Structure 1
Amino acid sequence: MGAVSSTEAEREPLLVPSAVDPSLPPVVNSRVYRRRWIVLTLFSLLALMQGMVWNFWGPIQNSAVHAYGFSKSDIAVLVLWGPVGFIPWLFFMWLMDKKGLRASLLLSAFFMLLGSVLRSVPLKEETLRRWFIHGGQFLNGLAGPTIMSAGPYLSTTWFAPDQRATATAVASLFGYLGAAMSFVVGPMVVPAPNNTQHATFWMAGTGSDTTIKDRIQLVLYAELGAIAVLFVAVLLYFPSRPPLPPSVAAASQRLSYRSSICRLLSNIRFLMIALAYAVPTGVIAGWAGVLDMVLTPAKVSQVDAGWIGFWSTIGGCVFGIAMARFADSIRGMLKMILVLMLAGASLASTWFTLTCLSQYTHLPSTAAILYTSCILIGIFINSSVPIFFELFIETVYPVPEGITCGVVTFLGNLVTGLLLFFLTFYCTEVSWLNWCLVGSCLFSLVLLLFFRETYDRLYLDVFVSV
């Protein structure tokens, strides 16, 4: 039998690929760059310094009262400037959406630098000096909308899908780490007023008003120098995005700014999860900012309150990064992780509140119990922040990450602002703050139980890219 050449019909493939769905994004070349770690490091260090400046006065409130004549209401207002800085959040979200992360971060870093300069001016006139301190705290608060909400935007822009939650956790939690460091740096460097504590290796001891002012000035200069170095570093190198996107989701088309705001405000599921995030995180931010004031009735010293706040926030940061890494390895479990975290936070906050009322509940109130319950509160609530952020993005995709997280961080700071606003009027007896913390955790837990989760962005990266 002789060989015969095949016909055109015989050379047609047996399996014809189906037509490409026009609604799906086109196939893109993706790449992950090593420089992403430099970008993440610069952003995280700025977040750390912003948190340190915001929480500087709370841990040394007794020293500030003696040195500058501050009242408890003044301390609450100094912490309140952080949430007040979120008033122009829509502008920062618009700037991030239109000009990229570099422009928004540079402006925020400039506000931090200018605010640190104002706080550090060594004026002799006490009234004018207090106004400069308040102005510096307000300018530092203006950096909050970008610093606190751009973490998920940075992780999507620079990191692969299996590293996104971890990068979000690092970028989002370093601000909390800065607040934790201020719990230690303040009491270790700034002495307490005379006859209020004994000096040890871990605390500055006691000192006169002049000594207190000199030490406060030293910390202010050190923070100014660190922020100046970071501002120059961001100015010299901080690209808005890599040459090639790291994933399909990073390259996909997003909604416009106006459409995104309308989509978010009309999405009931998003509003549910946004309130579940904003209420407990907003309450704990205000509560932690005046933790020394909260623990004073329990006969806890300024330094011990600082250490409790420090380990509470550090525990939340470490546990949050660990849980984010777990979420990266086992996808589609964000709601279950959050339910477990908020259940633990509800139990821990109830334990702490009842312990502080030991004269009525007759529960043992020791330093170990206060340490343990307070640290557990910080671990469960603070570690939930990056998990919440990832769930927000999955729920409302293709709304841009910066706009989504800008809305929820504004709501969280609104809650913090309202809490501190009431504190300026009801600052003599503050046990009501502890009950607010308990109620916020239970409220969030109920909303999470009724929330229906979806993973639209994850579906795009896992299935469409394949």
Structure 2
Amino acid sequence: MTEEKHLLEPTIKTYPSRWWILLLTSLHLAHQNIGLNTWGPITQSVKTVYGWQDTTVVFILNMGRAGSILYMCVGSLTLDKAGLRVTMLIFSVTMLLSNGLRSFSRDKDVALILVTIGEFLNGCNGVISFAAPPIVAEKWFPPGERITATAVMVLAAYVGDGVASIVGPKAVENPELQNISALHNSTWTMEVTNGDEMLDGLMYYLYVQCGLSLALLIATVAYYPDKPSAAPSTTAGMSRLTYKEAFKKIFTNKHLVSLVLVFGVMVGTYTSWVQVIDIIYDPIGFSQLNAGWIGFSTVMAGSALGFIVARFSDIFMKRLKPVLLSMFILVISTSLWTSLIAGEFLPYSAWQLYVSAIVSGGVLNASFPLWYEVICEASFPIPGGIINAMSDFVFLVFANGFFALMYIPVSDHRWLTWTMFVCSLTGFLTLLLLPVSYIRTDIDTEAKEGDACHNNGFDSMEMDIALR
């Protein structure tokens, strides 16, 4: 194997501006997910306003996934080669274009075309939304803040899902039906009485999202540097493998491949489930507002818990595996409870469905930032854009697979709730059986203690360890 020279940045320093970068990135990711989750929570309303079917909504959501898949290679290369500033500027412009198209026309035929294109463009940004958090955290934050910073950005994206789940049904009214005439055979004709109000609410909702896109673009142009003048840690200042070496390392490391696969399956299942809760629970009489409250509460509970767990993991380093295993035991138990209640294998109870769904989805959501760190630790020194794009690819494949199941011609999709139980059980078993390494943390810890910083052979020695 060709030996490469991996450079070590001599100055380790942190800057207050990292908090602005964290805030702005988090707002970007939340805003992007609000856009992606616009349609699921208001399915019943848009079906009435635009004459769509459930499959139309699923098709539009899949166009977002398609954008992510097709843009994946370009997005990961942009992150690794062009840097964060260029990447986030492209991200901001794409979001403005996406939301501008979606809010351009009230005509239902024109709207379907523009909404589909807008969803595709938003989906292209999904690659960046998925891959950027650990890269931003590594470039701007020291080891004792890295997991927390990653958690804030990852969870901000899911907060966007939650906000859309509750704001959408609040902004866009439910269809109101009224009997208008009696026909023969005692059949009544039903007419929607608030169609104009629903369309007005929808357009206002889309206009607000477009305005937020413009504000975030202006903020990004004003200040979003690629990286700080000095690296915040030893590993942040070290160069990465070439793409050829990186792919060779990935595909010869079965443990790493397994972690990436399981992570992608869990994220794909969870994010898809959150977006179509309205459709899944409709057969048991859940309104889109009630389903939205489950989605919102799940995300908010997961975000609060995720931040606490991430901060704990930053303080007590190298404890990711036991923390994740403990979380998965709770997820497995409550997702099984959710599935049994939703399927009415146990006596149906609305409060039990609320509690079980919120706890299972919330804890699973809270585990994702820790999974990011497990993969980043195990994959060092592979470029972040590559490894996170691969995780994103697996996530998108399984997310599209989840949506494809909704094309099955049945009126009741509650059985899809079982996918949450299966993916959490898979994650638990995978993590239980596989070792977890802390390559990046070990290098930073040794350098901080001063043992390696004065050793002329440090760079080659540590990189040899990382390449094993």
Aligned partner of 2:440 in structure 1 is 457
Q: Over residues 319-373 of structure 1, what are the superposed CA-to-partner deviations in whole Å (9 max), with x where a residue is unaligned? A: 1111100100111111111112222211111100100122xx2x23222111101
Q: Which residue of 2 aligns with 1:230?
A: 216
> Do the aligned partners of 2:169 and 2:288 also contact (CA within 8 Å) in 1?
yes
Quick one: which of 26, 45, 66 aligns to 1:44?
Answer: 26
CA distance in 2, matches of 1:406, 1:397: 15
Q: Which residue of 2 aligns with 1:177?
A: 159
Give the aligned CA root-mean-square deviation in angstroms. Answer: 1.7
Aligned pairs (5 A) from 1:89-168 = 89-124=72-107, 126-168=108-150
Q: C-alpha distance in 1, partners of 2:149/2:175?
A: 42
CA drift at 1:410: 2.0
* Pairwise CA distance, 1:25: 5.9
Distance 1:377 1:245 in 2: 38
Structure 2 residue 255 is the aligned partner of structure 1 residue 272: no
Q: Take 2:325 and 2:271, find their aligned partners in 1: how far apart are those partners?
A: 20
Secondary structure of the residue aligned to 2:323 is: helix
**Is residue 192–residue 207 contact of structure 1 (8 Å, CA) maintained in 2?**
no
- Whole-angstrom distance in 1 between the partners of 2:355 and 2:160: 21
Whichever residue aligns with residue 134 of structure 1, its letter is T
**Which amino acid counterpart does residue 347 of structure 2 have in structure 1?**
P
The residue matched to 1:243 in structure 2 has which SS? coil
Contact in 1 for aligned 2:103/2:210 (Cα 8 Å): yes
> For residues 60-459 of structure 1, what are the structure 2 equivalents within 5 Å?
60-87=42-69, 88-124=71-107, 126-195=108-177, 208-358=194-344, 361=345, 363-426=346-409, 428-459=411-442
Q: Using the alignment, how far apart are the partners of 2:211 and 2:9 within structure 1?
A: 46
Aligned equivalent of 1:7: none
The one-letter amino acid paired with 1:107 is I
Letter aligned with residue 164 of structure 2: S
Cα displacement (A) at 1:288: 1.1
In 1, the alpha carbon distance for the partners of 2:160 and 2:9 equals 41
Supply the AA of the counterpart residue of 1:356. Answer: A
Q: Kindly indicate whether residue 13 of structure 2 is the aligned counterpart of residue 31 of structure 1.
A: yes
Deviation at 1:24? 8.4
Aligned residues of 1:145 and 1:406 also touching (Cα < 8 A) = yes
Verify the 8 A CA contact 2:6 2:240 in the aligned structure 1: no
Q: Please, which moves more after superposition, 432-441 or 23-32?
A: 23-32
Q: Structure 1: which amino acid aligns with 2:253?
A: N
2: CA distance, partners of 1:61 / 1:123: 17
Amino acid at match of 2:315: S
For 2:225 and 2:243, locate their aligned partners in 1 and report how far apart those are by CA, in whole Å.
Answer: 22
Partner of 1:15: none
Structure 2, unmatched stretches of 5+, are 179-191, 450-468
Q: Is the 8 A contact 1:275 1:444 kept in 2?
A: no
Q: Deviation of residue 295 (structure 1)?
A: 1.1
The separation in 2 between residues aligned to 1:122 and 1:27, in whole angstroms, is 52
Amino acid at match of 1:242: P
Deviation at 1:236, TM superposition (A): 2.1
Q: Distance in 1 between matches of 2:248 and 2:97?
A: 34
Aligned length: 432
Percent sequence identity over aligned pairs: 29
Q: What CA deviation, in whole Å up to 9, does each residue of 1:227-283 have, x standing for no partner?
A: 111011112211000000011011012112332233223320111111221112211
Report Cα offsets for 1:294-332 as digits up to 9, x if no partner. Answer: 111221111111111100011111111111001001111
1:105-136: CA deviation from partner (whole Å, max 9, x where unpaired): 21122111111011001243x22221111111
C-alpha distance in structure 1 between counterparts of 2:287 and 2:142, whole Å: 46
Equivalent position of 1:18 in the other structure: none
SS of the residue 2:240 aligns to = coil
Structure 1 residues 426 and 280: CA distance shift in structure 2, 3 A: farther
1:381 Cα shift?
1.1
TM-score (norm 1): 0.90
The residue identity in structure 2 corresponding to 1:219 is Y
**CA–CA distance in 1 between the matches of 2:25 and 2:9?**
30
AA in 2 matched with 1:320: G
Output the CA distance in 1 between the equivalents of 2:380 and 2:296: 35
What runs of 5+ residues in structure 1 fail to find an aligned partner? 1-21, 197-205
**Equivalent-residue separation in structure 2 for 1:26 and 1:286 (angstroms):** 41
1:41-94 Cα distance to aligned partner (Å, 9 max, x none): 111101011010100111110001000011000111222233222212111111
Measure, in 2, the Cα distance between the counterparts of 1:226 and 1:364. 44
